[in-house]
């Protein structure tokens, strides 16, 4: 790719989605954008970026942002955080909200739905205890395409074998040809919305538990700080935040502190945002 | 070192699965059908069994029934590993006491994941 096109697309992606394309990840531009160029009958990636530079092809802009997202996800990803959610956070939350009998959970990078559906399965297993409660699960993502997949809730044989206990597959999925369809009752528990983490989060309302896993890794430090502080502003003082295995708040914000002995879980400090 | 018995009539599958399982830190034993697998279990009860369904002489489900009746036969974690990938087969396997179920084709990540599910890792 021509250097000025490379500079343009790197800045474009960072502004639009926060994605940082480092020099060693340059190959990703080619491998992800070549199929897109082909689909649109554009000669090559350079010509595609030229087209983008006109600033007049909103549809292409959206497609480029989406093509550059990494959507890999698993059910019960990393296991432990979800055990911890079920055994510690959920009981504590039910005690704290006993009079109101409602709480809201947010998956801030929902991807193809494995994370919100994992939470839905955990809640469903506790249905007796949660009778009479109003629980909302909101799943957001920057990619329209991936949200469409999430809404459908249809997974390959490979996807349902990563992290999902076989008993859960039997209980909550139906086989449709070679694919596996998640139960309608679980689909109805998740409200999917398109949302960009770089944009104002206020319209989403407040969330008692936030899962923001395996998305901050793609951002630079100032963007991580901005997103974390934005999330903090959408949480009540006693809320919980879950990050991915390779992510942390340390050195990024004073708004969250790690929950002792529980990796990947954070609570609010009450410190004001630095902004 | 924990022992995993790999039961499959295909030598290729036994070889591929055996390599994956050993790389996860287990010792492996092999058997080509359910009858030979039962003989193995009598000599030495494994910690886990990776079990094909369709095999000559004795199939996986019959092996599982017999295993669960043996003294100490309730101990091994049994993971089916088969091309039978419909709900009926999965449910029958679970009813007969299987602990997990892998649908072929598998890869090392699926095996590792499932071993973790049943607490072998
Ligand atoms: C690797 S997936 C993580 C999925 C899931 N949270 C998990 O841990 O398995 C990352 C997701 O973040 C989304 N994403 C990337 N940038 C985003 C942004 N600025 N706003 C919202 N979502 C974004 C991508 O579209 C992708 O689906």
Give the pLDDT score at A24.
79
Give the pLDDT score at B96.
97
**Is a pLDDT exceeding 70 seen at residue A156?**
yes
Entry pTM: 0.95
Beta pairing, strands B77-82 & A190-194: unpaired
| Cβ within 8 Å, pair B110-A158 | yes
pLDDT digits (tens, 9 = 90+) for A42-97: 999 999 999 999 999 999 999 999 999 999 999 999 999 999 999 999 999 999 99
DSSP E strand stretches across A163-215: 173-176, 179-182, 190-194, 209-212
Spatial CB neighbours of B115, under 8 Å, sequence gap ≥ 6:
B24, B48, B79, B121
| Ligand 1 atom index nearest CA of A111 | 27
Percent of residues in chain B assigned helix, strand, coil, to nearest 5: 45, 20, 35
Q: Which of B85, B100, B113 sits opposite A162 (nearest CB)?
A: B113
Tokens 């996800």 locate to A73
Tell me, using a 6 A CB cutoff, whether residue A215 lines ligand 1. yes
- Beta-bridge partners for A190: A137
Q: Which of A161, A165, A170 sits opposite B110 (nearest CB)?
A: A161
| Ligand 1 atom index nearest CA of A74 | 9
Give the pLDDT score at A23.
77
Distance A110 CA to ligand 1 centre (A): 6
B94 neighbourhood in chain A, CB within 8 Å: 166-167, 170
**Is a pLDDT exceeding 60 seen at residue A273?**
no
Give the pLDDT score at A25.
80
User: A55 is written with which tokens?
Assistant: 């600033």
Give the pLDDT score at A191.
98
**What does the domain layout of chain A look like in residue ranges?**
3-68, 80-268
B113 neighbourhood in chain A, CB within 8 Å: 161-163
Tell me, using a 6 A CB cutoff, whether residue A210 lines ligand 1. no
Q: Which residue has a Cα nearest atom 23 of ligand 1?
A: A142
Give the pLDDT score at A18.
97
Count CA atoms closer than 13 A to A151's CA, side-chain side: 12
Q: Which residue has a Cα nearest atom 16 of ligand 1?
A: A17
Give the pLDDT score at A142.
98
Do residues B110 and B24 lie in contact, with contact meaning Cβ atoms separated by under 8 Å?
no
Mean pLDDT value across residues B54-61: 98
A165 neighbourhood in chain B, CB within 8 Å: 100, 117
pLDDT digits (tens, 9 = 90+) for A184-241: 999 999 999 999 999 999 999 999 999 999 999 999 999 999 999 999 999 999 999 9
DSSP E strand stretches across A14-98: none
The CATH architecture assigned to A80-268 reads 3-Layer(aba) Sandwich (3.40)
What distance in Å separates residue B79's CA from the closest CA in chain A? 10
A170 neighbourhood in chain B, CB within 8 Å: 87, 90-91, 94
How far apart are alpha carbons B8 and A128 in whole angstroms? 42
**Is a pLDDT exceeding 80 seen at residue A270?**
no
What distance in Å separates residue A158's CA from the closest CA in chain B? 8
| Ligand 1 atom index nearest CA of A72 | 1
Do residues A159 and A114 lie in contact, with contact meaning Cβ atoms separated by under 8 Å?
yes
Spatial CB neighbours of A212, under 8 Å, sequence gap ≥ 6:
A108, A109, A197, A227, A231, A241, A242, A243
Mean pLDDT value across residues A6-30: 92
**Is a pLDDT exceeding 90 seen at residue A181?**
yes
User: A107 is written with which tokens?
Assistant: 């998956």
What confidence category does residue A146 fall into, taking pLDDT thresholds of 50, 70 and 90?
very high
Under DSSP, the state recorded for B38 is H
Helix A58-67 to helix A3-17 angle (10° resolution) is 80
What confidence category does residue A274 fall into, taking pLDDT thresholds of 50, 70 and 90?
low
**Is a pLDDT exceeding 80 seen at residue B32?**
yes
Alpha-carbon distances, residue B65 vs A129, B33, B100 (angstroms): 36, 14, 15
Pocket test for ligand 1, best of A64, A112, A141, A210 (most atoms within 8 A of CB): A141
- How much of chain B exceeds pLDDT 70, in percent? 100
**Is a pLDDT exceeding 80 seen at residue A103?**
yes
How far apart are alpha carbons A242 and A85 in whole angstroms? 9
Mean pLDDT value across residues B1-25: 98
| Cβ within 8 Å, pair B116-A79 | yes
Q: Which residue has a Cα nearest atom 26 of ligand 1?
A: A71
Domains of chain B: 3-106 (3.40.50.2300)
How far apart are alpha carbons B25 and B43 in whole angstroms? 22
Give the pLDDT score at A275.
46
Mean pLDDT value across residues B86-103: 98
Do residues A159 and A71 lie in contact, with contact meaning Cβ atoms separated by under 8 Å?
no
Do residues A92 and A83 lie in contact, with contact meaning Cβ atoms separated by under 8 Å?
no
pLDDT digits (tens, 9 = 90+) for A104-143: 999 999 999 999 999 999 999 999 999 999 999 999 999 9
What distance in Å separates residue B40's CA from the closest CA in chain A? 27
How far apart are alpha carbons B49 and B99 in whole angstroms? 10
Tell me, using a 6 A CB cutoff, whether residue A118 lines ligand 1. no
Phi and psi angles of residue A53, each rounded to the nearest 5 degrees, phi first = -70, -15
Spatial CB neighbours of A235, under 8 Å, sequence gap ≥ 6:
A206, A207, A208, A210, A241, A268
């Amino acid at each position: 790719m021509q250097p000025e096109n490379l500079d343009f697309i790197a800045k474009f992606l960072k502004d639009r989605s926060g994605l940082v394309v480092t020099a060693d990840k340059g190959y990703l531009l080619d491998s992800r954008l070549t199929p897109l160029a082909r689909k649109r009958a554009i000669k090559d990636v350079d010509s595609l970026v030229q087209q983008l530079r006109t600033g007049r092809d909103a549809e292409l802009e959206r497609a480029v942002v989406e093509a550059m997202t990494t959507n890999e996800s698993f059910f019960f990803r990393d296991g432990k955080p979800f055990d911890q959610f079920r055994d510690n956070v959920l009981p504590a939350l039910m005690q704290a909200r006993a009079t109101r009998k409602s709480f809201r959970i947010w998956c801030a990078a929902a991807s193809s739905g494995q994370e919100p559906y994992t939470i839905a399965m955990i809640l469903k297993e506790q249905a007796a205890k949660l009778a009479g409660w109003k629980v909302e699960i909101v799943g957001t993502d920057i990619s329209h395409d991936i949200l469409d997949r999430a809404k459908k809730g249809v997974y390959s044989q490979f996807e349902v074998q990563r992290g999902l206990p076989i008993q859960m597959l039997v209980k909550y999925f139906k086989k449709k040809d070679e694919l596996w369809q998640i139960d309608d009752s679980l689909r109805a528990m998740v409200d999917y919305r398109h949302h960009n983490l770089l944009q104002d989060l206020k319209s989403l309302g407040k969330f008692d538990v936030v899962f923001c896993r395996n998305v901050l890794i793609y951002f630079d430090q100032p963007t991580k700080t901005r997103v974390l502080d934005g999330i903090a502003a959408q949480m009540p003082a006693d809320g919980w935040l879950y990050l991915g295995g390779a992510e942390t708040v340390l050195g990024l914000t004073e708004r969250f502190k790690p929950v002792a002995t529980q990796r990947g879980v954070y609570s609010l400090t009450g410190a004001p945002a630095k902004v | 070192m924990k022992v995993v018995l790999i039961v499959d009539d295909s030598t290729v599958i036994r070889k591929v699965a055996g390599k994956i399982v050993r790389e996860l830190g287990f010792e492996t034993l092999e058997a080509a059908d359910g009858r030979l697998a039962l003989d193995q279990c009598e000599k030495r009860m494994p910690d886990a069994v990776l079990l094909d369904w369709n095999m000559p002489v004795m199939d996986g489900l019959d092996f599982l029934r017999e295993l669960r009746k043996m003294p100490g036969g309730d101990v091994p974690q049994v993971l089916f590993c088969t091309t039978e990938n419909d709900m009926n087969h999965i449910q029958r396997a679970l009813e007969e006491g299987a602990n997990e179920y892998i649908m072929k084709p598998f890869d090392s990540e699926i095996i590792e994941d499932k071993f973790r599910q049943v607490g072998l890792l």
